[in-house]
C-alpha cells in the first residue's frame, strides 16, 4: 500500500510544473490572437459598410419605383410632379433623398417614334412613358485614404402610364 501512495503523488503535477507548461504553450496562442484580431475586425467593419451601401441603394431604387408607380396610374397623376416626388420621399423615409427628377416621353403603340403630339401616330395610339430618377448622398462611417468621403447613389424607374 505504501508503494501505491508514492505513485499517486508523482502522478499529480506540482504547481511549478503547471506554471512551466502554461508558460511554454500559451504564449503562441496570444500572439496568434493579437495578429488575427485586427484583421477580423477590419473584415467585420468592411462587411458592415457594404451592407449599409446595399441598403441605401435599395432604398433609393425603391423610392424611384414608388414615384413611378404613383405617377403611372393615369394621365392626371403622371402630370403631378409634386405628388410623384412626395411618393418617392415617403418611400425612402430611412434615408435623405436628394433631387427627384421626373420626365415624360412618348412612343406610338405600333413602335414608331413620337414627340407626344396627337398627329405623330397615325393609325395607332400615343403611349406616355414616365421616368423617375432619384439620388441620395451616402457618407460611409469609415473613411479610407484615397477614396471619396461621400458617394452619390442613383435610382431609376421607367413605366408606361395607364390610359
Distance CA 28, CA 98 (A): 53
Q: Provide mean pLDDT across the span 137-155.
A: 88
Candidate from 7-21, 93-107, 119-133 with smallest mean pLDDT:
7-21
Candidate from 74-78, 118-122, 159-163 with smallest mean pLDDT:
118-122
Segments of 11-161 assigned E as strands: 97-108, 113-114, 126-138, 151-160
The answer to whether 162 and 68 have CB atoms below 8 angstroms apart is: no
* pLDDT tens figures, 6-49: 555 555 567 777 666 666 665 777 788 888 999 999 999 989 98
* pLDDT tens figures, 101-118: 999 988 888 877 777 777
Amino acid at each position: 500500500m505504501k508503494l501505491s501512495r508514492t505513485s499517486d503523488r508523482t502522478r499529480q503535477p506540482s504547481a511549478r510544473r503547471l506554471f512551466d507548461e502554461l508558460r511554454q504553450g500559451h504564449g503562441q496562442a496570444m500572439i496568434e490572437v493579437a495578429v488575427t484580431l485586427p484583421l477580423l475586425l477590419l473584415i467585420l467593419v468592411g462587411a458592415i459598410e457594404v451592407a449599409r451601401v446595399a441598403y441605401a441603394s435599395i432604398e433609393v431604387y425603391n423610392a424611384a419605383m414608388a414615384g413611378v408607380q404613383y405617377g403611372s396610374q393615369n394621365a392626371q397623376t403622371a402630370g403631378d410632379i409634386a405628388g410623384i416626388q412626395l411618393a418617392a420621399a415617403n418611400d425612402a423615409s430611412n434615408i435623405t433623398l436628394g433631387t427627384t427628377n421626373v420626365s415624360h416621353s412618348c412612343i406610338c403603340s405600333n413602335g414608331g417614334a413620337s414627340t407626344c403630339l396627337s398627329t405623330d401616330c397615325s393609325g395607332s395610339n400615343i403611349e406616355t412613358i414616365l421616368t423617375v430618377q432619384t439620388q441620395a448622398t451616402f457618407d460611409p462611417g469609415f473613411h479610407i485614404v484615397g477614396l471619396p468621403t461621400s458617394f452619390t447613389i442613383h435610382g431609376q424607374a421607367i413605366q408606361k402610364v395607364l390610359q
